[in-house]
Structure 1
């Protein structure tokens, strides 16, 4: 992605904040901005166990490729092995998300997410595992549901045994 595209993506993300300039300042100062969910996007929190089961690996590069293919939109991770992944979805889809207790959707202005600058694509710290390719590049809710269902299906034999 070039800087020109990145600027449009940054602007789209910054407008999630009621004061977009605040998001820009946070990205400049620490590389991550605390943005409210429910304006530009919502975020489905997916535990690492489910992500690794659905993709079939914990290796970083293969995991990123598997998430890009399996979810088809932007995904954030904070870099810790035990930390959840956040699949961005359309903000309005978050209002009707019907996921399980372990895969909630952050969808209202009372939920905030640490969103890395578009260029932050490597750990340590919060980064894009699958960076947005254009403004509004989010995962389809049905795709996220299917991804989670596939993970649960992969884990079912382990739970039974």
Structure 2
């Protein structure tokens, strides 16, 4: 279980991805989410909701979250501005991604909610468990490899 102290350390680490971390803290206070630059501390893989839901076999949040936690073992954010809002899987900057989904990096801002807080724009599906702990892109690749076969089975 993540404590308030742990969340504070994680939030500090996330905020310091921005050259002006105080701006991230201010946005979190005002909006519950902040635009954080990618390419310094972490990158993100944008996965369409339909593809992620096909991979885990459900659209239900109480099923999706534990499935992603089991497969990815790292932080995932979801865009809540529409029912089809994509998922963003946070990965290390120097890890290779060879999947079809778009990798977001330098010169891109990602909406990131403050750990432990609720935002109307973005939501942690899986919060970071400690500063610097990110997803292994190979785990994401393996998960997404199940999406197409599961979708084909469901269409029979």
* Structure 2: runs of 5 or more not aligned: none
Find the aligned partners of 2:119 and 2:142 in 1 and give their Cα distance: 27
Q: Which runs of 5+ in 1 are unaligned?
A: none
Take 1:140 and 1:153, find their aligned partners in 2: how far apart are those partners?
Answer: 22
Distance change (3 Å), C-alpha of 1:123 and 1:70: farther
Give the Å deviation of 1:157: 5.0
Aligned-partner Cα distance in 2 for 1:28–1:124: 13
1-structure distance, mates of 2:78, 2:24: 18
Q: Tell me the alpha carbon deviations over residues 14-57 of structure 1, each in whole angstroms, 9 at most, x when there is no partner.
A: 11101111111111111111011111110000011111111111
- Give 2:115's match in structure 1, choosing from 118, 139, 144: 118
Q: Secondary structure at the match of 1:113?
A: strand
Matched residue, 1:104: 102
Q: State how far apart, in whole Å, the 2-side matches of 1:106 and 1:97 are.
A: 11
Q: Distance in 1 between matches of 2:36 and 2:111?
A: 6
- Where does residue 134 of structure 2 map in the other structure? 138
TM-score, with length taken from structure 1: 0.89
Shift of 1:118: 0.5
Taking structure 1 as reference, are residues 68 and 31 closer, same or farther at Cα in structure 2, changes over 3 Å only? same
- Name the count of aligned residue pairs: 154
Which of 78, 81, 89 matches 2:83?
A: 81
1:91 corresponds in structure 2 to 93
Alignment root-mean-square deviation, CA: 1.6
Is structure 2 residue 62 aligned with structure 1 residue 64? no
Task: Work out the CA distance in 2 between the residues paired with 1:105 and 1:113.
Answer: 12
**Separation in 2, partners of 1:11, 1:87:** 19
Whole-angstrom distance in 2 between the partners of 1:33 and 1:52: 26
User: 2:123 pairs with 121, 127, 131, which one?
Assistant: 127
